[in-house]
Amino acid sequence: MSAGNGVEDPRLQQLVDGIVRLASGALGSRMTPSPRGDDIDAVITGVNLLAEELEYIYSDLEQRVADRTFMLQRAQAELEEMAKTDALTGLANRILLNERIQEAILASADSGTITAVLVLDLDSFKGINDSLGHGAGDIVLVEVARRLRSSVRATDTVARLGGDEFAVVITGSSTDEILLIAHRISEQLQDSVRVGPETVWAMASIGVCIGSSGYPPEALMRDADIAMYQAKAQGRNNVQLFHPDMLAAVRERLRITAELHSAVANGELALCYQPVVELASGKAIGLEALLRWHHPVRGLIMPDSFIRIAEETGLIVELGQWVLHEGVAQLGRWNETAPDLTGFRLHLNLSAAELLRRDLLEDVRDTLARNDVAPGRLVLEITETVLMSRGTAEEQILTGLRDLGVGMQIDDFGTGYSSISYLRTLPADTVKVDHTLIDDLVSDPQQQKFVAAILQLISAAGLKAIVEGIETAEQAAQLEAMGCLYGQGFYYSYPLPPEEVLDQLRSLSERL
C-alpha cells in the first residue's frame, strides 16, 4: 500500500515490524493506529486485538503450567514422604532411617561428635497378635511409636523397621546421654497398654551402638542389632551396649553353623553312651546316647558349644534324625553281638523342634523296624518345659509315640517349671532329676530333705525317678536310702564310645 502519491506508507513497515515482534514472542508489544482510520489502521487494530488475545492465552497457559508443576512437585514430595514413612505409625521407615544415619555420620566427621543407633524389638508382641488379633497389635504399635517420640529429642529420628522392630538415631550427645535416652525409652515401655477391655504390655529388648567418626553406617545398624539380640539373650526387657566381643561371638556362631551343616555328611559326629543303673544292684538298665562332634581342626567339641546354635538355626532336626538312626542302629548291632547283655533301654534326647516334625512318628517306627528293635527298648527324653508348652500337633506326636510303645522321660527336672501339680498329667513314665539338686546332698541336711520330698512326690505321681550326676558312693547310698531306684553319673561310668560299652556293662554286672 502507498499513501496514494506513489510514496510507500510508513505504517506498512510498522505493521510488518509489529507482526515480527509478535511472532518472536513479544506479546506485550502494540502498534498505534493513525488518525486516518483507513484499512491499514483497521489491520493494525486487528493485530493489536490478536496480540491481546494471545497474551491472555499465553498468560493463562503459563499459570496453568505453574499450577500443574506445583501440583506435580507436591505430589512427588508426598510420594517421597510416603516412600520414606511408615504408613501405620507415621515414623520414618528403613529408607529414611538409612539416610539419616548417613547424614549423621557425615556431620560427625566434621564436628567430631558421635552418632548412636538404638534397635528395639518388642518382647511379647507375637502373643498379642495371636491372642487379640492384628488390629489390637496395630493399636499397640501406634502407642509404642508415640512413647518413643516422647522419649527422644526433636533432632533424633525414630523409625519403624517393620513388624515390631523400631530404631532411633541419636546425634550430638555424649555416651551417658545416649544411654540415658535408651533407659528412658525402656521405662516408658514398662507401662501397660489398653486395647479395648484388655490390658497388654509391650516391653522391649534394646541394643545400643555408639559410633564415632569413620564408623561405617551399615555397621552401626548391624552392631545395634547384635546388641539387641544380646539383650534378648540376657532375659529380655533390658538395654545392652554393643561391645566388639559381641561381633566376635556372632562370627563364631556363623562359623559353627556353617561347619555344622557339613558335619553329618563328613562323618564328624559320633555317639557315646553313659549307663543308667539300678542303684540297689548297680546293674545297667539303660544307656543314654550323648552326641559328640569330632571337628577336623578343633578336635572334640562338646554339645554345650553347638546344640543351642543347632536349635536356633533349625539344624537340630537334622542332628536329631542322625542321632535316632545311629543310636537305634547301634542298639541293633549290640543285640546281634551280645544278646545276653542287651536287656536295657536306649535313651535319646528329643528337642522341641523335632516334636514338630510331621514324619517323626513314621521315622521312629521305621527306624525301630529296620534294626529289629522293639519300641519298648527306646526312651525319648524331653524337657518338662517342652512337655508343658506342647500344642495340638506335639500332643498328637507324643500320643502316637506312646501308642507305639516308646517310653517317655521328663528330662532336666528341677531346672524348668518343676511344678509337681503337672507331673500326673505329663505324658511320661520316668523323671530325670537334674544333677544340680544333689551337688550338696551329702553335706547339707536341708538339701537331703528337699531331694527326699521331690523323690516322694515323683513316686506319688506314679513315675519313677532317675537322678543324674552321681559322682560318689556317698551320693549313691544317700539316694538309695531315700527310695530312689535309678541313677547315672561318673561314679558308675563316664560316657563311652560304642566299642567299650559292652565291656563296661559286663563290669557293672560283675559288681552284683
Position 78 scores a pLDDT of 62
- 114-148 burial, b at 16+ Cβ within 10 Å, e below that, comes to bbbbbbbbbbebeebbeebeeebbebbbebbbebb
Confidence of residue 150 (pLDDT cuts 50, 70, 90): very high
- Predicted confidence band of residue 149 (pLDDT cuts 50, 70, 90): very high
Which amino acid is present at 496? L
CB 360 within 8 A of CB 394: no
Q: Give the separation between CA 391 and CA 149, rounded to whole angstroms.
A: 39
Instruction: Say which residue, 22 or 205, is predicted with more confidence.
Output: 205
Give me the pLDDT at residue 4, please. Answer: 53
CB 202 within 8 A of CB 128: yes
Of the candidate ranges 328-337, 368-377, 409-418, the one whose mean pLDDT is the lowest:
409-418
Question: Does the pLDDT value for residue 161 go beyond 90?
Answer: yes
Residue 5 confidence (pLDDT) above 60: no
* DSSP conformational letter for 85: B
Mean pLDDT over all residues of the chain? 87
Cell numbers given for 280 = 540297689
Whether the predicted pLDDT of 156 surpasses 60: yes
Average pLDDT over residues 10-32: 79
Of residues 187 and 173, more confidence is placed in 187
What CATH number does the domain located at 264-509 have?
3.20.20.450
Note the pLDDT of residue 212: 72
* pLDDT of amino acid 407: 93
Residue 242 has pLDDT above 90, yes or no: yes
For the segment 457-469, the average pLDDT, to the nearest whole number, is: 90
Q: Indicate the pLDDT class of residue 389, thresholds 50, 70 and 90.
A: low
What pTM was computed for the model? 0.66
Average pLDDT over residues 147-153: 94
State the distance between the two ends of the chain, measured CA to CA, in whole angstroms: 144
128 phi and psi angles, rounded to 5 deg? -65, -50
Least confident of 23-32, 119-128, 374-383: 23-32
pLDDT the model gives residue 388: 64
Tens-place pLDDT, residues 199-212: 999 999 999 999 87
Cα separation of 34 and 36, whole Å? Answer: 5
Say which CATH architecture domain 94-242 belongs to. 2-Layer Sandwich (3.30)
Q: What are phi and psi of 277, to 5 degrees?
A: -115, 160
> pLDDT > 70: what percent of the chain?
92
* C-alpha torsion sign, points 202, 207, 208, 209: negative
What pLDDT digit, counting tens, does each position of 243-278 carry? 989 988 888 888 888 898 889 889 999 999 999 999
pLDDT of residue 165: 95
- Residue 37: what pLDDT? 75
Per-residue pLDDT band at 421 (split at 50, 70, 90):
low
How many C-beta atoms lie closer than 10 Å to residue 268's C-beta? Answer: 16
pLDDT of 380 = 94
Domain ranges of the chain: 10-69, 94-242, 264-509
- 101-109, long-range: CB < 8 A, 24+ apart: 101/169, 101/217, 101/220, 101/221, 102/217, 104/169, 104/171, 105/211, 105/213, 105/215, 105/217, 105/220, 107/171, 108/171, 108/211, 108/212, 108/213, 109/213, 109/214
For residues 367-389, average pLDDT: 86
Pair 292, 271: CB distance under 8 Å? yes
Residue 419, pLDDT > 70, answer no
